[in-house]
Amino acid sequence: MLFSEAAEYFAKIEAEASRLAMSAIVAELLGKCNQEEAKPLIYIIEGNIAPAYEGLDVGIGEKLAIRAISQVSGRVDAQVAADYKRSGDLGSTAEFFLSKRQQTSLSSSPNELLRVYATFLKISRMSGSGSQDSKISLLSELLNGATPLEAKYLVRFCLGKLRLGVGDPSIIDALSMTKHGDKKDKLILERAFNLCSDLGTVAEHYIAGKDLSHFSTQPFKPIRPALAERLPDAAQIVEKLGGKCAVEAKYDGLRMQIHLEGGKVEIYSRKLEKMTHMFPEITEAAAALKAKSAIFEGEALAYNVKEKKYYSFQETIQRKRKYGIEKMSADFPLRLFVFDIMFLDGKDLTLLPYSSRRKTLEKMTVNNPVLLPSVQIITDSPNKLEEFFQQSIAAGLEGIIAKDLTQPYVAGARKFAWIKLKKSYGAMADTIDAVIIGYYLGKGARQEFEFGGLLTAVLNDETNELESIAKIGSGFSEDEMRTFESMLDKIKMKKKPKGVVSKLTPDFWVKPKYVITVAADEITLSPMHTCGLVGETGYALRFPRMMSLRDDKGPNEATTTKEIISLFEIQRKRSA
């Protein structure tokens, strides 16, 4: 397949608003590729050079891309930069200048998809002296053999701004459509993806005709985390779970997934980013386990050895850093409360009942001073569950998680296998995690700042769209305002991001990337926001305020529209 052919399909996808129609276009494109091309094509559609957990970037910034465009088009850097300033899209600028090019180099040849992918993979692995010139040269070679439209997507891809708006759920639908014309295999594909977080590998297996119903976990392919549903009180939790359940303390720390095999240890965040080097005491404790291979997860909290108490999330999050690790690990040593195990010594445990998995993790962590099983009781009594909940709150924890003893590990999904009960915030039963979709300039007392507030959204997991829920102007210190000003300026966009639904227009839209925890007095019905919109009325937060930036969460882990509606119903019953 030529990359120019893929680019034509990318243009069709970009012009389409309907998720179903986008999936159909992706399915048509996938139908034209061979088995070898499936994996790289999926990565490119996702906007990645490899699975996200590998942390690989092409590593070409705007300045290097401008130089490559200049070399190929015969223009000077200043001309390219000026057009980019006008268009706001360096890909469109590349398309414009290559369309004005007098002739294509005689030495150029059309870019095949596999060659494009191999070139970008080579660029991503370059570093050191002379690497910048080599990167420019390789990108120039691709642009030299590119059509103007192809150049647009080559440049966008290397900058990490492909802008197709196709999420993983749409790609999964498209894969099923390639074989059946419908979503018949959606659940099988979803499960495989949730167990390995690598849609390229799933696509490769699927297109090759392999049976994905037996797909299993393996070390160093992180599992998408299981998520918990909400219920408002102990009685409803016990009734929903239908008898005895495990009730565990809910720790407000850093969720970690630990992978171990052959003496090698990797630690992944809840966003599935590698962060092994940040937590040497967790790595050492995992390496000391008797297991030959394992995948397990827990919540890490910083521990004060002298006072024998745990630090807050705000203090614990300081451990997530690239530098000064040795000092921070001495000042804020971690304990990992292990709450589940999904793989041990070559065996996938995800389909076993929770009660069995719990016994396995307790045996594995016995006498380990750093890896501790989460505190737990087994009960079918609402009174005992409520008592344990109150004890957890009094100890400074978030609340509790109740777990169905009979259920498997439900990767990547929010099911009633796990149910959380957290402390209330006013009339609202819980805080929410919202995605930043835009920001406002400072006014009045904040006029000195290029930041005055945020526009936030929650995730509609049925449409895979972000729906606005709150304009937030409080809860920020001056230092936080400066941080947001710098952080959001790097990802601001001239147009509303694809997949964002909002009636409000901020001063600047931003790429949906950051998540914040938000508290509010209550959830209200509002004509201004699009969360759960029915007719002209959606849901909104009354007097919202930012609690913290959640570096450990991505947009796919934001509070969902369904959860907002559920919280609204809980709130209404409480006030009745």
DSSP string, 273-319: -B-GGG-HHHHHHHHTSS-SEEEEEEEEEEEETTTTEEPPHHHHGGG
Rounded-to-integer distance, Cα 300 and Cα 295, Å: 16
Tokens of 109: 């040849």
Asked if 229 contacts 416 with a C-beta cutoff of 8 angstroms, the reply is yes
Exactly one of 39, 221, 250, 403 is catalytic; which is it? 250
Asked if 90 contacts 159 with a C-beta cutoff of 8 angstroms, the reply is yes
Rg value, the chain, Cα: 25
Rounded-to-integer distance, Cα 336 and Cα 368, Å: 10
Task: Taking the CA atoms of 103, 105, 109 and 113 in sequence, report the sign of the dihedral they define.
Answer: negative
Rounded-to-integer distance, Cα 59 and Cα 120, Å: 9
Tokens of 490: 């790097």
Other residues' Cβ atoms within 10 Å of the Cβ of residue 336: 29
Q: In angstroms, what CA-CA distances link 268 with 280, 372, 393, 515? A: 13, 18, 28, 18
For 146, counting Cβ atoms within 10 Å of its Cβ (0-12 exposed, 13-18 middle, 19+ buried), the class is buried
Rounded-to-integer distance, Cα 8 and Cα 29, Å: 10
Q: What angle, rounded to 10 degrees, do the helices at 148-159 and 113-124 form?
A: 30
Q: In angstroms, what CA-CA distances link 168 with 42, 49, 198, 200? A: 10, 15, 10, 11
Pairing of strands 465-472, 492-493: unpaired
Of 87, 68, 67, which is closest to residue 78 (Cα–Cα)?
Answer: 67
- The span from the first CA to the last CA of the chain, in angstroms, equals 62
Asked if 97 contacts 83 with a C-beta cutoff of 8 angstroms, the reply is yes
250 a catalytic residue? yes
**SS3 sequence of 428-475:** ECCCEEEEEEEEECCCHHHCCCCCCEEEEEEEECCCCEEEEEEEECCC
Other residues' Cβ atoms within 10 Å of the Cβ of residue 478: 10
Catalytic residues: 250
